[in-house]
Amino acid sequence: MSGALPTVAVIGRQNVGKSTLVNRLVGRREAIAHESAGVTRDRLELPVEWRGRRFVVIDTGGLMSRPRGVEAAVVKHALLASEEADLILLVVDAAAGLTAEDEELGRLLRRSSRPVVVVANKVDTEAHEPLAAEFHGLGLGEPLLISALHGRGTGELLDQVVELIPERPEEPLEDEARFAIVGRPNVGKSSLFNRLVREERVVVHAEPGTTRDAVDSVVEVEGRRFRFVDTAGFRRPGKTEGVEYYGLVRSLKAIDAAHVALLVVDASEGLTGEDKRVAARVTEAGRGLVAVLNKWDLVPSGERAARYEDLGRKLEVFPGTPVVKTSALSGSGVGRLMPALLAVHEAWTRRVPTAEVNRVLQDATGAHPPPSRAGLIRYGTQVGVGPPTFVLFGSGDPGPTYRRYLEGVLRSAFGLRGTPVRLIFRARRRGRGRGAQTPRRPGR
């Protein structure tokens, strides 16, 4: 995500207020902040602008001594972020005082070649300022006193950040295709994400619901930029509460911001009601869709042909939706995902000349006229992309059956596979006692 922008890693032990600080620096709630320890797991990169300078702040998971299981992976990613950053903000909790874990982090960061600022958080008033004195013992310079929750001292912190980060020319923004990886918990989304972005950017673990935030990465393929967003697993809203609720909100926002969704289904379990709900959410958002039957290697060989036919038919939300068989663990089939994503993205952004639209509509209505109550379609034109949207003049809404017929005709004629096609009907307006008036064409 960062491109040529300087990066600032926010690290520290659990529950010291790192995500609250990141939200304060960004100026909006992006990182999930919660009173529970260990909420942040993946690295979350967000742009910040201060006094004309732009940089990327990286929220990380909490560091701890002797981590086990998924927490060990969290610590690994946090330390990797600090090694790659241009500046490190070590956040400590002034209210809790200096801990053994803080001291261990201090010893580690004293060996770092990166500049480090000790940020003593939870100094909510002047009366709390003496509490931060003991953090001089970390040997990393004067602690900067802030309250991330109330914003106290964060302006001074930003001033110090822009003084310490390197000056770099900012790369010009480019158009980029955006793909969101969505699905239920524990279907292999993060493993596929790591395969696609070609680095271990996301914590992958067997525990369902490991990803709690939407994490993105930009990759370049043959000179083109693509943004992949890994999302938290979708659960039925009634079963989502606390921290998981915020992860769900981020996932919904990721779909809305994407161009194409990569719906990951556990092929060994088959299609579930939750899979169908995720697909419906993609449809509602008007995004393109590629379906992935992951963990295909776990499907018994004798059942694969029938399973593929059944799941492929059920997952074809839009006619022609690509359905790809993969194993994120071994990498099998992953090479077919990028061509499928690009094909759907190209269809999602395709523009069709008006003359071609009307030629196809004339043939379609000649073969199967619309219901008489709707009126004749006089002409049509494409008015938007992402998804392809057409206005048809002269006819009222002909009903769902004929609407689907026209959508299918346009999709087939113009190769709009895997993307919704939106139709807007504009009936002829009646004049006062003078019969029908012909509508004016757009732009006249």
CATH class for the region spanning 7-164: alpha beta
Write down the pLDDT at residue 407: 94
Write down the pLDDT at residue 71: 53
Q: Which CATH superfamily is domain 354-427 in?
A: K homology (KH) domain (3.30.300.20)
pLDDT tens, position by position, 310-333? 888 888 777 788 999 999 889 999
Q: Is the pLDDT of residue 293 over 90?
A: yes
pTM over 0.75: no
Q: Is the pLDDT of residue 239 over 80?
A: no
Per-domain boundaries in the chain: 7-164, 177-348, 354-427
Q: Name the average pLDDT for the chain.
A: 79
Write down the pLDDT at residue 402: 95
Write down the pLDDT at residue 296: 95
Q: Give the mean pLDDT of 382-386.
A: 88
Mapping DSSP onto H, E and C, the string for the chain reads CCCCCCEEEEECECCCCHHHHHHHHHCCCCCCCCCCCCCCCCCEEEEEEECCEEEEEEECCCECCCCCCHHHHHHHHHHHHHHHCCEEEEEEECCCCCCHHHHHHHHHHHCCCCCEEEEEECCCCHHHHHHHHHHHHHCCCCCEECECCCCECHHHHHHHHHHHCCCCCCCCCCCCEEEEEEECCCCCHHHHHHHHHCCCCCCCCCCCCCCCCCEEEEEEECCEEEEEEECCCCCCHHHCCCHHHHHHHHHHHHHHHCCEEEEEEECCCCCCHHHHHHHHHHHHHCCEEEEEEECHHHCCHHHHHHHHHHHHHHHCCCCCCCEEECECCCCECHHHHHHHHHHHHHHHCCCCCHHHHHHHHHHHHHHCCCCCCCCCCCEEEEEECCCCEEEEEECCCCCHHHHHHHHHHHHHHHCCCCCCCEEEEEECCECCCCCECCCCCCCC
DSSP lists the bridge partners of residue 217 as 228
pLDDT above 90 coverage of the chain, percent: 33
167 vs 245, higher pLDDT: 167
Beta carbons of 29 and 59 less than 8 angstroms apart: no
pLDDT above 70 coverage of the chain, percent: 76
Q: Is the pLDDT of residue 9 over 70?
A: yes
Q: Do domains 177-348 and 354-427 have the same CATH topology?
A: no
pLDDT tens, position by position, 103-133? 888 888 888 888 999 999 999 888 888 888 8
pLDDT tens, position by position, 54-88? 888 888 777 755 655 545 555 666 677 677 788 99
Give whichever of 35-49, 72-86, 309-323, 367-381 has the largest mean pLDDT: 367-381
Model confidence at 428, pLDDT cuts 50, 70, 90, reads: low
Of the given ranges (41-45, 188-192, 224-228, 424-428), which has the lowest mean pLDDT?
Answer: 41-45
- CATH annotation of 177-348: 3.40.50.300
